[in-house]
Amino acid sequence: MSRPVGVTVSAIVAILGCILALLMAVLSLGSLFVQTGAHTADNSPQIIAGAFMFTVLSGFGICTAIGILQLRPWARMSMVIFAGVLVVGSAFMLLATMTIPMPPDISTGTVRQVRRMMAMVSAVPIAIGLWWLIQFNTKSTKAAFAAELQGPASTRPISITVIAWFSIFGGSSCLLAILARSPAFLFGATIEGWMAGVIYGVFGVLTLYVGKGLLELREEARILGIGWSAFSLVHTCAVWLVPPIRRRLFDLSESLAAAQDPRTHVAFPSMLMNVVFAWAVVTLLATIWFLIRHRGAFNQTDSH
């Protein structure tokens, strides 16, 4: 079956976006060699971690785009997942541009112009993500990719695939936290130094194991995924709903932001934090529900 025009255009747009992300990675690394007159905190680990993330995601995006051009079924699923992440992430960015206060030394007119420009920047990926969600779920697109299937169709539910890849992405992001030397925050306690790296390492390995096991429909991975999601749900609710713990998180976020550049630091709006916490709770509840609902798909496989 011939490849729909929208699929070809989507692959081209994805490749261009990946090239732009690679350019951003190169420019961010180049900024490490630019001398500035003002003294600022050493944020080299964060810049290196960010560049690494852009590079990895760009490489995966280019591979996905090539798979799209070859009508690989896994590539269509990858594009659907990425489109959903793009829409949600950009929507949060748009909300942030409308709520985060600007430095007081900026005029009202300039603030309006900055917010308008940032809103336009956020609207572009939202539009692209919605386009991809529609394009890769049309009957003609599904039929084109289904024609390339080899062997029996997968018995893994789509929701389990999405959870698995999000777990793999989350586990990989723990490596970035280690590279950036980020402090860990657990139930109000701030852990720094090598102990924070150990915590991120354990969390990363655990999450990667769950993601890989879900892709292979292993029952022990499903059980571990439910337990891990339940732990994350309890921790999220504690940080969100217990005032002393919530205050400690706010203080930590503000101290980290102020350490980067005290001149431009502004307080993070609590309303946006509430939206983020509510989204996290809904996502974790949905994850637990899908892992319980689709337990039959795991029982069909043999234990190893």
The residue from 121, 151, 181 where one domain ends is 151
Q: Place 264 in a pLDDT band, splitting at 50, 70 and 90.
A: very low
* 81 shares its domain with 57: yes
* 210 shares its domain with 138: no
Q: Which of 25-39, 69-83, 203-217 has the highest average model confidence (pLDDT)?
A: 203-217
Tokens of 196: 């924070």
Tokens of 283: 């996502």
- Number of domains present in the structure of the chain: 2
Q: Where are the beta strands (DSSP E) in the chain?
A: 184-186, 189-191
* 170 shares its domain with 257: yes
* 126 shares its domain with 174: no
The residue from 151, 185, 213 where one domain ends is 151
Which SS3 state, helix, strand or coil, does residue 184 take?
A: strand
* 107 shares its domain with 242: no
Residue-number span of the structural domain to which 230 is assigned: 154-304
* 233 shares its domain with 295: yes
Q: Among candidates 56, 259, 33, 32, which has minimal Cα distance to 176? A: 56
* 81 shares its domain with 188: no
167 φ, ψ to 5°? Answer: -65, -45
In sequence order, what are the residues at sequence separation of 6 or more whose Cβ sits closer than 8 angstroms to the Cβ of residue 164?
Answer: 210, 211, 212, 214, 215
**Residue 304 pLDDT exceeds 50:** no
What does the pLDDT look like over 221-246, one tens digit per residue? 999 999 999 999 999 999 888 888 88
* 10 shares its domain with 65: yes
* 180 shares its domain with 134: no
In sequence order, what are the residues at sequence separation of 6 or more whose Cβ sits closer than 8 angstroms to the Cβ of residue 173?
Answer: 53, 204
Query: What is the predicted pLDDT for the residue at 235?
Result: 93
The residue from 102, 124, 151 where one domain ends is 151
* 16 shares its domain with 127: yes
* 169 shares its domain with 125: no
Sign of the dihedral defined by the CA atoms of residues 290, 293, 297, 303, in that order:
positive
* 47 shares its domain with 189: no
What does the pLDDT look like over 97-134, one tens digit per residue? 777 766 666 777 777 787 788 888 888 888 998 999 99
Q: pTM value?
A: 0.69
